[in-house]
C-alpha cells in the first residue's frame, strides 16, 4: 500500500524524509492525439537484459531494453530490498507493461511501441541522472518517440 499515512514504520519515515527536487519551471508540450503517438517506457526499477551489466550503485546510468525483449530475458537488479518483487516475478507487466503497450498498438489505441525502452536505478539522486536523461532525449527523438511513460517501482 503506497499511502504514506497507512505505511508502517520505519518505511513511512524513511520515505517521508527522502529529499525531492522542486523546479521553478513547469515545461509543457502538447502533441498529437494518443492514436498517433509512438510510446517508450522509462522505468526506475533497475531493469536490465539478462547478461547485461547489473546496476552496481547509484551512478545515474541506464540500461537499454529493446522493444522485442521477452519477459524471460528481463531481470531486476535494483539495490533496494524495501519493495515487493514477487509481483514482478509472477508477471513483468506489473512493473514494465510492455505486453500491454504492444496490445494497445495492435488495437490502434497508440500508433506504435518504440524500438527502445530504458531503465534507471530508482534510488539514485535525480541530479546524477540528469546527464543521461539529456542524452536520452536525442535517442528518443532518433526513435521518433513522442510520448514517454515514466514508471517507478
Q: Which of residues 20-59 bind another protein (CB under 8 A)?
A: 20-23, 25-31, 33-34, 37, 39, 50, 53-54, 56-57
Neighbours of 12 (CB within 10 A): 14
Taking the complex as a whole, how short is the minimal distance between the CB of residue 99 and another protein, in angstroms?
A: 7
Comparing CB distances to another protein, the nearer of 125 and 137 is 137
Select from 59-67, 95-103, 112-120 the region that touches another protein (CB under 8 A): 95-103
Taking the complex as a whole, how short is the minimal distance between the CB of residue 113 and another protein, in angstroms?
A: 12
Strands 38-43, 116-120: pairing kind = parallel
DSSP string, 92-126: GGGT--HHHHHHHHHTTSSSEE-SEEEEEBTTS-H
What does the alpha-carbon distance between residue 48 and residue 119 come to, in Å, rounded to a whole number?
A: 7
110 binds another protein (CB under 8 A): yes
106 binds another protein (CB under 8 A): no
The footprint of another protein on this chain (CB under 8 A) covers a number of residues equal to 75
Q: What stretches of the chain show up as alpha helix (H) in DSSP?
A: 11-16, 86-90, 98-106, 126-142
Residue 64 in grid coordinates: 537499454
Taking the complex as a whole, how short is the minimal distance between the CB of residue 5 and another protein, in angstroms?
A: 9
153 binds another protein (CB under 8 A): yes
Taking the complex as a whole, how short is the minimal distance between the CB of residue 64 and another protein, in angstroms?
A: 16
Residue 129: HSE in the Cβ half-sphere, 13 Å Cα cutoff: 21
Amino acid at each position: 500500500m503506497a499511502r504514506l499515512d497507512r505505511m508502517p514504520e520505519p518505511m513511512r519515515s524513511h520515505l517521508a524524509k527522502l529529499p525531492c527536487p522542486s523546479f521553478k519551471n513547469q515545461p509543457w508540450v502538447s502533441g498529437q492525439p494518443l492514436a498517433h503517438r509512438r510510446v517508450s517506457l522509462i522505468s526506475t526499477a533497475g531493469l536490465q537484459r539478462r547478461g547485461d551489466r547489473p546496476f552496481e550503485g547509484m551512478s545515474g546510468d541506464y540500461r537499454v531494453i529493446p522493444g522485442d525483449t521477452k519477459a524471460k530475458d528481463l531481470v531486476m537488479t535494483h539495490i533496494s530490498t524495501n519493495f515487493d518483487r514477487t509481483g514482478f516475478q509472477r508477471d513483468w507487466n506489473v512493473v514494465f507493461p510492455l505486453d500491454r503497450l504492444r496490445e494497445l498498438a495492435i488495437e490502434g489505441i497508440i500508433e506504435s511501441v518504440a524500438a527502445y525502452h530504458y531503465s534507471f536505478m530508482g534510488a539514485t539522486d535525480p541530479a546524477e541522472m540528469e546527464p543521461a536523461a539529456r542524452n536520452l532525449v536525442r535517442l528518443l527523438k532518433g526513435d521518433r518517440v513522442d510520448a514517454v511513460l515514466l514508471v517507478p517501482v
